[in-house]
Amino acid sequence: MKIRTVIIYLLVLFSSVSYASNSTIDSLRALLNSTNLTFRSIVINEICNNYIYTNQDSALKYGTLGVEAAIKAGNKSNQAYALNSLGIIYKEKGDYLNALDYFIKADKLFEEKNNLEGRTLTTLNLGRVYELQNLFDKALSHYSLALSLSEKSKNKKNSAVVLNHLGSFYYSTNDKKKALEYFTLYLESGQELNNIDQIMEGLNNVAVIYQQLGQFDEALANFNQYLLYSRQNNDKHSQVIAYHNIALVYQDQKNIIRSINYLDSSIALATKIRDFEDLIDIYDSYTEIYTKANNYERAFETFKLKAAAKDSLLKQTRDQQFIEMSTKYETGKKEAENKILKSEGEKQRTINTAITIGLILVVALVFFVYRSYRVKQKANTLLSAQNTEIKEQKGIIENKQKEILDSITYAKRLQDAILPPNNLVEKHFPESFIIYKAKDIVAGDFYWMEQKNDHVFLAAADSTGHGVPGAMVSVVCSGALSRAVKEFGIFDAGKILDKTRELVIETFEKSEKDVKDGMDISLISFNKKTGEIQWAGAFNRLWYTKNGIINEIIPDKQPIGKTEEVSAFTTHTITPQKGDCFYLFTDGYPDQFGGPNGKKLKYKLFKEIISSKSSESMSQQKQNLDEAFTLWKGHHEQIDDVCVIGIRI
């Protein structure tokens, strides 16, 4: 029996290979001007990966440049990733010798750097090339080594992919028991990681193996679990597959009635969502059932429906099926009449035969329509009850979610109220930019601005936590800053932070609990009359350019909040020249994980990104910082709120 499911056979890359638009590649090329050689090699390899499946000539060009750039930067890990990309390109071209050569070179470099995740990648790719050449023993030894390496690196996601790959390998080599063993481990891994897609894929694969081994109860249990998840995810296509697969198991058990019931459900849903590809397979199953039952009329009918699904996207309805059956009857009757003309002696018998056949066909059709109607009526009654219950539960959940979302949205409105509008910032600093990326809807990071007399105050601050708790702390801290300036009339940067700390502690001391929340901050006080700048910082530093060189002022190592050792904040005075740029920021940008090894971006690379574009307009600097952050983050989650402010005097 034909298998109506797909065992996914993955070529694991462990890196994102996107199908890039021209604008994406152009944005990447714009970052090639970076003076940081390591960062430049990352950009080149990313361009190569974007071309792998769309333009292999360009992919080869940038893959070669990526290797050269990594060698020049002295970064062997980046060199290995670039070599691996070249191996993938040659594998896709069918040049397995070159593919093996590059994968082996990459593997040696990863081994030298003790990069277990990189070695998992190259070892699995080597196994895939050997398998494509039917060298199954070599392929299996490499897949087994890839599993061992992924377990040593304690990367459960990579281990899961290797387990699925091993299951697919044994399935393709017809070792069903081994395939079942690894698909089961893959399923258990998905349950541990709470990865719904992995769980569904594992359930489907395990069920297929059980079906082929004749263990039908286990197959049904796993397919029903797959159906449950597809319903919870409202995945209609997966539901069609689940109904069809369950029908096939019942067909194997010779339970034709239940098989047809599930085929009916599969057809109804596939028709509703216009899933014509699966409709073709479902009609194949119908044809197989009726052929085995010697019901050739129904088999021929379902065969025609399959053709209709291919040619006219299933335009026929049940009424049309009845018309087709009537046409068959008329055709049979005409053929009988032709025989009468040839043999008068057989006339009466032929007429009787034709009438009998016609009556049998009509009775069979009426019976089938009536039976289908009763089956569907029962199914609809059951589904109606289930849908009512699901809708009630869904309504409760949606109401709760709406209440929570409304509360968070209102919290965002409150936080937005404390952020200075862009036109106010641009009024005092026409050449400026603000990058503000909240990790959640609301943030612990905030930027603050006040103006009094001839002084303009600007700050980037990072409150304790993020999300709703961080946003609540930010409101308290922003209010304390404004009071220090407007109520107490303090203009000195360091003394503003001293008073702000006092006010924040005073606010939180009203609680009976020991609250130690507060903030880190980088604060500028700009005297528009004298042109002088004062700066003070709590953990957050200041960078500024003078004659094209970035200078740094180290902050005081104490927060705005409760701390064991309290000292007055230091005020630093700077006399800027026209064109000097000042950068205030929190730790969210340099602390972001990403890049080829999933590590922090760090302050050194952050400073180099700023330095490479510091002579350009502030809007261009903002775009460059945005693109560099997105490229570095890649598929990783944003781990913290991000706030970066740049102003040009």
Q: For 280-302, what is each residue's pLDDT tens digit?
A: 888 888 888 888 878 777 778 87
pLDDT of residue 223: 94
Neighbouring-strand partners of residue 447: 460
pLDDT of residue 204: 94
pLDDT of residue 65: 92
Q: What is the pLDDT of residues 57-74, one digit of tens each?
A: 999 999 999 999 999 999
Angle between helices 196-212 and 236-252 (to 10 degrees): 20
List strands edge to edge, sheet with 533-538.
445-452, 455-463, 519-527, 533-538, 572-574
456 confidence band (pLDDT: 50, 70, 90): very high
Question: In residues, how long is the chain?
Answer: 649
468 confidence band (pLDDT: 50, 70, 90): confident
- Give the CA angle between residues 107, 109, 114 to the nearest 5°: 90
Whether the CB-CB separation of 41 and 77 falls below 8 Å is answered with no
22 confidence band (pLDDT: 50, 70, 90): low
Say how far residue 88 (Cα) sits from the centre of its chain. 22
Cα–Cα dist 461/182, whole Å: 50
What's the average model confidence in pLDDT over 239-247? Answer: 93
308 confidence band (pLDDT: 50, 70, 90): confident
What six digits make up the tokens of 144? Answer: 């087994």
Neighbouring-strand partners of residue 546: 549
Neighbouring-strand partners of residue 644: 435, 585
Cα–Cα dist 555/603, whole Å: 14
323 confidence band (pLDDT: 50, 70, 90): very low
pLDDT of residue 400: 66
pLDDT of residue 564: 82
**What HEC string does 330-352 produce?**
HHHHHHHHHHHHHCHHHHHHHHH
Cα–Cα dist 183/480, whole Å: 58
Whether the CB-CB separation of 608 and 39 falls below 8 Å is answered with yes
pLDDT of residue 507: 84
Q: What is the pLDDT of residues 159-169, one digit of tens each?
A: 999 999 899 99
pLDDT of residue 646: 96
Closest by CA position to 519, among listed 587, 440, 437, 571: 587
What's the average model confidence in pLDDT over 414-420? Answer: 81
**What HEC string does 528-567 produce?**
CCCCCEEEEEEECCEEEEECCEEEEECCECCCECCCCCCC
In this predicted structure, the answer to whether residue 396 has a pLDDT above a threshold of 90 is no
Whether the CB-CB separation of 577 and 546 falls below 8 Å is answered with yes
553 confidence band (pLDDT: 50, 70, 90): very high
Say how far residue 539 (Cα) sits from the centre of its chain. 34
Please count the other Cβ atoms lying within 10 Å of the Cβ belonging to residue 378: 11
315 confidence band (pLDDT: 50, 70, 90): low
313 confidence band (pLDDT: 50, 70, 90): low
pLDDT of residue 20: 45
pLDDT of residue 352: 62
Which regions of 6-142 does DSSP assign to beta strands (E)? none
Cα–Cα dist 585/537, whole Å: 11
List strands edge to edge, sheet with 542-546.
432-437, 642-648, 581-585, 542-546, 549-553
Whether the CB-CB separation of 626 and 580 falls below 8 Å is answered with no
* Domains of the chain (ranges, CATH numbers): 1-173 (1.25.40.10), 420-648 (3.60.40.10)
What six digits make up the tokens of 218? Answer: 């286990």
What's the average model confidence in pLDDT over 186-213? Answer: 93
pLDDT of residue 334: 46
In this predicted structure, the answer to whether residue 572 has a pLDDT above a threshold of 80 is yes
Whether the CB-CB separation of 66 and 30 falls below 8 Å is answered with no
In this predicted structure, the answer to whether residue 80 has a pLDDT above a threshold of 60 is yes
30 confidence band (pLDDT: 50, 70, 90): confident
575, with CB counted inside 10 A (0-12, 13-18, 19+), is exposed
Whether the CB-CB separation of 193 and 156 falls below 8 Å is answered with yes
In this predicted structure, the answer to whether residue 454 has a pLDDT above a threshold of 80 is yes
In this predicted structure, the answer to whether residue 319 has a pLDDT above a threshold of 60 is no
CA-CA-CA-CA dihedral for 499, 500, 503, 509, to nearest 10: -120
325 confidence band (pLDDT: 50, 70, 90): very low
Q: Is 456 helix (H, G, I), strand (E, B) or coil?
A: strand
What six digits make up the tokens of 359? Answer: 């009556």
In this predicted structure, the answer to whether residue 12 has a pLDDT above a threshold of 80 is no
Q: What is the pLDDT of residues 493-539, one digit of tens each?
A: 999 999 999 999 888 887 656 666 789 999 999 999 999 999 999 99
Cα–Cα dist 525/647, whole Å: 13
135 confidence band (pLDDT: 50, 70, 90): very high
pLDDT of residue 552: 95
Closest by CA position to 544, among listed 586, 519, 575: 575
Q: Is 457 helix (H, G, I), strand (E, B) or coil?
A: strand
pLDDT of residue 3: 38
365 confidence band (pLDDT: 50, 70, 90): low
Q: Is 308 helix (H, G, I), strand (E, B) or coil?
A: helix
What's the average model confidence in pLDDT over 131-147? Answer: 93
pLDDT of residue 316: 42
In this predicted structure, the answer to whether residue 303 has a pLDDT above a threshold of 70 is yes
26 confidence band (pLDDT: 50, 70, 90): confident
Cα–Cα dist 350/496, whole Å: 110
Whether the CB-CB separation of 428 and 571 falls below 8 Å is answered with no
Neighbouring-strand partners of residue 51: none
This prediction has a pTM of: 0.55
Whether the CB-CB separation of 481 and 463 falls below 8 Å is answered with no
Average pLDDT, the chain: 83
Please indicate whether residue 377 or residue 137 has the higher confidence score (pLDDT).
137
In this predicted structure, the answer to whether residue 257 has a pLDDT above a threshold of 70 is yes
Q: Which amino acid appears at position 152 of this protein?
A: K
Q: Is 466 helix (H, G, I), strand (E, B) or coil?
A: coil
Closest by CA position to 219, among listed 266, 192, 183: 183
What's the average model confidence in pLDDT over 320-334? Answer: 42
Neighbouring-strand partners of residue 647: 432, 582
In this structure, of 72-81, 231-240, 368-377, the range with the lowest mean pLDDT score is: 368-377
What's the average model confidence in pLDDT over 172-192? Answer: 93
Neighbouring-strand partners of residue 234: none
pLDDT of residue 10: 36
Place of tokens 């190592």: 557
